[in-house]
A = this chain, B = another copy of it.
Amino acid sequence: MIILPINYSKSEGVKEDMNTKTVRISIIGFGNVGGGTAEVIRRKREEIAKKHGIDIKIVGIADLKGVIVNESGLSEDAIMKLNTGEKPADMTTLEVIKEVEHEVMVETTPTNVENGEPGLTHIITALESDRHVVTSNKGPLALQYRKLMQLAAQKGKELRFEASVGGAMPLISLVRENLAGNGIISIKGILNGTCNYILTRMVEEGLPYEHVLKEAQERGIAETDPSKDVEGIDTAVKLVILANSVFDRDVTYKDVEVEGITDITPEALKLANDAGYVIKLIGEVDRNGCQKVAPRLVPKHDPLNVGGTLNVATIKTDLAGDITVIGKGAGPIEAASAILSDIIGIYS
């Protein structure tokens, strides 16, 4: 393996003291979320060192664009050059994960719900190489949750995935930490911002589905192939992560009953509206085995009635009652915020 020399900018250093621990990370997958993570670490590195006592250094980035590595920490310059294809190191992604010394592998390659790859192999390799893993990638979690958690436990490492469900909206950690001691009865919510945007606009404008979908595509809110969102697959995948992590199941997204929003008409929305309801694509999982995704009537005054691209979840508990959390479900900086909290969480 050859690690090419990369400029290391001294200006970005954080003053080390006895109370600061260096945490070296790799970022595998350097699209929106991976790039957002690097950007957020650039902005926040000093503040995090001061507040949380950890100095996060990016020592490797691997992407289809190439691989860059510097065991003392990549400079901003080097990271920027990756995007222009300059100075890639002569290593494969798996070599970065295995051979570059680091503590946390951040996996942000795109979700693949067919076989979970390449994320699945990245995560397994990182855990086997004794690294903690923080990921936004839903595929491996939706397909092999239990196997991955068992591997993490066996290696004494953490596998955290707050960014995989609800973007910046804290949900996994909310249930596990803030509501520790509570029995969770159910979780119900809007977990896909694209569907919420389409339904919100259909109500506001009285326009048909196809028309609003086109608008959403033009605004970059829906993808060119919107099927995973509008058919409820994305919501189902997130629901599976909740089912496995909160309710200790061992299911995949194929075990979820799914109905999307493609058949909802402006007339149905109007009828609902006249009766005091909105229609939302709701994912629901409960402790009795229910796990389904379907358009549901939501009373207008219910906390679940949030508009635009917002995500929301209501957690029904046995002690705290209903707790609702609302936030942005997507966006590179928002997802990076969740990744950052997960990294900090490992060390606090």
Residues of A within 8 A of B (CB): 40, 44, 47-48, 51-52, 162, 168-170, 173-174, 177-183, 301, 303, 306-307, 310, 317, 319-328, 331, 333-334, 336-338, 340-341, 343-345, 348
A211 to chain B, nearest CB (A): 22
Q: Could you say which residues of chain B place their CB within 8 Å of the CB of A340?
A: 180-182, 319
A136 to chain B, nearest CB (A): 14
Knowing A183-B47, A341-B179, the reply to whether A320 touches B325 (Cβ < 8 A) is no
**A178 partner, pick from B178, B180, B334, beta carbons under 8 A:** B178
- The 6 A-B residue pairs whose C-beta atoms are closest, nearest first, are A168-B320, A170-B178, A181-B340, A319-B337, A324-B326, A320-B337
Q: Could you say which residues of chain B place their CB within 8 Å of the CB of A307?
A: 301
**A317 partner, pick from B319, B337, B343, beta carbons under 8 A:** B337
Q: Closest chain B residue to A172 by CB distance?
A: B178
Knowing A180-B52, A306-B303, the reply to whether A320 touches B328 (Cβ < 8 A) is yes
Q: Are B328 and A325 in contact (CB under 8 A)?
A: no
Q: Could you say which residues of chain B place their CB within 8 Å of the CB of A336?
A: 319
Q: Are B183 and A178 in contact (CB under 8 A)?
A: no
- Docked CA distance A48–B183 (Å): 10
- What would be 20 A-B contacts, judged by CB atoms less than 8 Å apart? A48-B181, A52-B180, A52-B181, A168-B323, A170-B174, A173-B177, A178-B178, A178-B341, A179-B337, A179-B341, A180-B340, A181-B341, A181-B343, A182-B340, A320-B327, A321-B334, A322-B326, A323-B325, A324-B324, A324-B326
Q: Closest chain B residue to A162 by CB distance?
A: B178
Q: Are B177 and A341 in contact (CB under 8 A)?
A: yes
Q: Are B325 and A325 in contact (CB under 8 A)?
A: yes
- Docked CA distance A344–B319 (Å): 15
**A326 partner, pick from B51, B168, B317, B323, beta carbons under 8 A:** B323
Q: Are B325 and A324 in contact (CB under 8 A)?
A: yes
Q: Could you say which residues of chain B place their CB within 8 Å of the CB of A181?
A: 40, 44, 48, 52, 337, 340-341, 343-344
Q: Closest chain B residue to A40 by CB distance?
A: B319
Q: Closest chain B residue to A51 by CB distance?
A: B180
A204 to chain B, nearest CB (A): 10
Q: Are B320 and A338 in contact (CB under 8 A)?
A: yes
Q: Closest chain B residue to A326 by CB distance?
A: B324
Q: Are B169 and A323 in contact (CB under 8 A)?
A: yes
Q: Are A337 and B182 in contact (CB under 8 A)?
A: yes
Q: Could you say which residues of chain B place their CB within 8 Å of the CB of A328?
A: 320-322
Q: Could you say which residues of chain B place their CB within 8 Å of the CB of A170?
A: 174, 178-179, 323
